Structure 1
Amino acid sequence: MDILSKIVFGKELGCIQDPIFKNHFIEYLHSTFDMGWTATSFLNLTKFSLSLSEWLSEVLFPIPLMKFKKKCIVLIDDYFQSRKIPTACEAGRVLEKEEYNKFVVIDTFVDPKSAKDYSVLNASQLAEEVIMLLSAGNDTTSDSMMVGIYQILKSPKIYQKLNIELATSFPSLEEEITYDKAKKLVYLGAVIKETLCYSNPLPGRAPRMVPSEGYTLHGHVLPSGTAINTSSYLLNRHANVWSNPDDFLPESWLEKDAASLEKYMTSFYRGTRQCLSKE
């Protein structure tokens, strides 16, 4: 989360400073995730709470997300103050008048020239965008890394092959491993792809709606508006697509037909709702 917060608004949240890694931002985030499962189980109650004004909803349904949002608003204000800009709206006016150096993601949110007919977000809207960015790339990234590291250490063959490639490409410990250099390493790329395909850090279903013309699935005609649910875990382990789907095999991405596997990997899901970090 420290890396993400640095990218989003230029400040680390101190998540690794505590000896046991206890941090209220992490607690808010995980509590929000837990609340999400409750919200999906009681949809009418969720809709009712969302229809209320923010202050009343906070009194009747105190949820960690609102505390998280307030903390984010403070951090956003601190960032603008550090750039000597009073508010988000003021940042938009500054950007209209002069060249504005964009340091972090939040600078783009307050740039009225970011897109055609774009309206600069207010503090509350900015906080919601920040929460989405921090939560979407937090546990998913760390969980994938844990799975990948475990699988590498579990297999001496994979570990040795990866170690040789890295040591050959970066023989000096003082040499910086940049993205431009690392992305050229073939086996490292295969290990990363296999990690993304194998780890599936995002649980749950991904609903998609049948379009107006309907859809035929295994001989059954589904009418327009029908919700079809699946998950990246099931798709990334489908035996008709993947050979030995329960094994961690980076070599799968080095074979001649590896390019064809790309369209079947759904670690970031697909369509208009796919994960922003895919690109």
Structure 2
Amino acid sequence: MDVVRQALEGRTTKEYAGLALLAFAAYVVANIIYNLYFHPLAKFPGPRAAAASRWWKAYVEVYKGESIVDRLFELHAEYGDVVRITPDELHFSDPKMYNEIYNTRSRWDKDGEMYAPFGGNSTMFTALRYHDAKKRRDLTASLFSRKAVLSLQGSIQEGLDELCDIISARSAAGKTTDLFRAFRCLNLDNVTSFCFGWSLHTVRAPDFRAPPLEEVQNSHGGYQFWKHLMLFRAVLLPVLRLRFFLLWQLKLTGYYDVIQKLKEQVDTLVARPDELEAAPHPIIFHSLIDPAHGAKLSAQELMEEANMFIVAGIGTTSNATGAGVIGVLSNPSTYDKLKTELRTAWPRLDEKPTVEVFESLPYLKAVCKEALRLSHGITSPMLRIVPPQGATLAERFVPGGTQVGVSHLFVHLNPTLFPDPHAFRPERWLEPGAESLDTWLVAFSKGPRSCLGINLGWCELYLNIANLFRRFDLKLEGRAKAFLDGPRARASGDWKDCFLPCFEGPDMLIHTTPVAD
């Protein structure tokens, strides 16, 4: 110690800074050498820069603004079925690995970095540990059961009726309709009505440009920045709680109004749980607040959980609806088959069939499945942490603590499972033995952390596609948004992987003509 003290005596602040910088540089070099040659994953193939530092992935996603899933297609073509893309992360291209990683047996934790930009790990969706997520999931699971969803399909149909009336009015005025925005508005109205008992009626926004959704869409690209810049996140998130974080980080003044409306509802129900009796139907707060014993979560936790239901509920179904519309309109034969089936099952427009009827229509069901396949749901690999004892994946031992994942695109676009995978071809779901393909439709994920709202999503998708194609004759105007077709999307520049797809291409404008019985 005396030697160290003597060496430091008389040094200036500048010299201390130089020593600190030198020590940091030595640490970085030593860490790179370890990652390249001595790390437990050192023998797995991949770019040397990716193996050396996590900054390679940040460079691709943040600095270059590229989609890591596009890079992954290139990397797997070069390195094989498993690729190391950070010092601690492996990605697998074999669809069989999807069922190995995301299944009811593999109750592995989520990766903290990937889910932190959503505001911490205090919700069912963002909870990292399986058991924490299960406790939250069990509270509200009954609300999203098939029986519960079917009992409320009337309110979903009412929202669709309002949207169809607005589309008809636009048609009469000679206006096209941006179906991407229209169905995002409808999804937001559905999720608030279903979960909280009130609708925002965003479908009434001029040209469907509802401020909350416009702001979320415009700010979507910031996901990668907040995922990788952990220092900023670590400093700011504890200080800026949910509503202030949203307002400051994303400048979501319109969405802030939604948060305020939620806050008023939460504050009212926490103070007077008996107000739940005034709800038009069971809502999530019936499960999260007990009139006899009060809230099961804190007011802040209730707010964050409610907000996450909104965030999770406005993307997948609207994207799938868009993919279905583009796919059907791109093929006259597909369009004619769907229209004929719908006219047969729904002869009078004023006598609307139930979801159960639509589910029984083979071609409509095939169209919905193909729409989900080509919209993918979440596009980023949903990273899971291998447990401490390690696991054998793709016939290789993967040590504990490794982040592993398979992007949905590597399942949905696998040419062995889905020949001509970029083509929208509903017939593939009707061919002999097609039932086996259901295993590989993973838009809602699989396993114990799969999407809680899968029944609601299917209900919305059936009703969306059926109502749109039965009640209107449709025609695309020009080039619509390119939906998720793997590496080809890189050339089109229409979307970027930001957990969900972030669309940057032209608007999805549709000419609509109302039909008579």
Q: Is the 8 A contact 2:411 2:440 kept in 1?
A: yes
* Displacement of 1:19: 2.4
Distance 1:101 1:136 in 2: 22
Distance change in 2, residues 1:21/1:169 (3 Å): closer
Assess, with a 3 A threshold, how the Cα gap between structure 1 residues 46 and 31 changes in structure 2: closer, same or farther.
farther
Specify which of 27, 40, 46 is matched with residue 214 of structure 2.
27
1:83 matched to which residue of 2? none
TM-score of the superposed pair, with normalisation by structure 1: 0.81
Q: How does 1:217-228 map to 2 (within 5 A)?
A: 217-228=393-404
Supply the AA of the counterpart residue of 1:128. E
- Where does 1:11-160 land on structure 2 (aligned, <5 Å)? 11-31=198-218, 33-52=220-239, 54=241, 58=245, 62-64=248-250, 70-76=256-262, 87-92=268-273, 103-112=281-290, 119-160=295-336
Tell me, in whole angstroms, the C-alpha distance in 2 between the residues paired with 1:216 and 1:50.
36
Show the counterpart of 1:190: 366
Checking the alignment, whether the CA contact within 8 Å between 2:269 and 2:275 is kept in structure 1 is no
Aligned position for 2:197: 10
1:167 positional shift: 0.8
- Return the TM-score normalized by structure 2: 0.46
Query: 1:263 Cα deviation (Å)?
Result: 1.7
Q: Using the TM superposition, give the Cα deviation of residue 260 of structure 1 relative to its aligned residue in structure 2, in angstroms.
A: 1.7
Residue 63 of structure 1 aligns to a residue whose secondary structure is helix
Map Cα deviations across residues 154-176 of structure 1 (whole Å, 9 max, x no partner). Answer: 11111111111111111112111
Partner of 2:349: 173
- Specify the structure having the higher radius of gyration (Cα): 2
Compared CA separation, residues 118 and 274, structure 1 to 2 (3 A): farther
1:250 is matched with 426
SS in 2 for 1:216: strand
Deviation of the 1:122 alpha carbon: 4.2
Any conservation in 2 of the 1:29–1:68 contact (CA below 8 Å)? no
Aligned to 2:160: none
Higher relative contact order (CA 8 A, sep 6+): 2
**How much is the aligned-residue C-alpha RMSD, in angstroms?**
3.2
Contact 1:2 1:15 in 2 (8 A): yes
Q: What SS does the aligned partner of 1:272 have?
A: coil
Specify which structure has the higher proportion of strand.
2
> After the TM superposition, which of the residue ranges 29-38 and 201-210 deviates more from structure 2?
29-38
Q: Which amino acid aligns with 1:278?
A: I
Cα separation, partners in 2 of 1:167 and 1:149, compared to 1, 3 Å: same
Moved more, 161-170 or 205-214: 205-214
**Number of corresponding residues:** 268
Change in CA separation of 1:171 and 1:218 when aligned onto 2, cut-off 3 Å: same
Provide the rounded CA distance (Å) in 2 between the counterparts of 1:127 and 1:28. Answer: 20
Number of the residue aligned with 1:210: 386
**Percentage identity across paired residues of the two chains:** 27
Give the aligned residue type for 1:191: V
SS of 2:392 mapped into structure 1: strand
| Post-superposition offset of 1:42 | 0.6
Q: 1:104 to 1:58 in 2, by over 3 A?
A: same
> Aligned partners of 1:141 and 1:107: how far apart in 2?
23
What SS does the aligned partner of 2:248 have?
A: coil
SS of residue in 2 equivalent to 1:52: coil
Q: List runs of 5+ in structure 1 lacking aligned partners.
A: 81-85
Q: Is the contact between residue 239 and residue 245 of structure 1 (CA under 8 Å) also seen in structure 2?
A: yes
Q: Choose from 425, 429, 452 the match for 1:276.
A: 452
CA displacement 1:191-235 (0-9 Å, x = unmatched): 111111122243322112223442333443211221112211121
SS at match of 1:6: helix
Is the alpha carbon distance of 1:33 and 1:104 closer, same or farther for their aligned partners in structure 2, counting shifts above 3 Å? farther
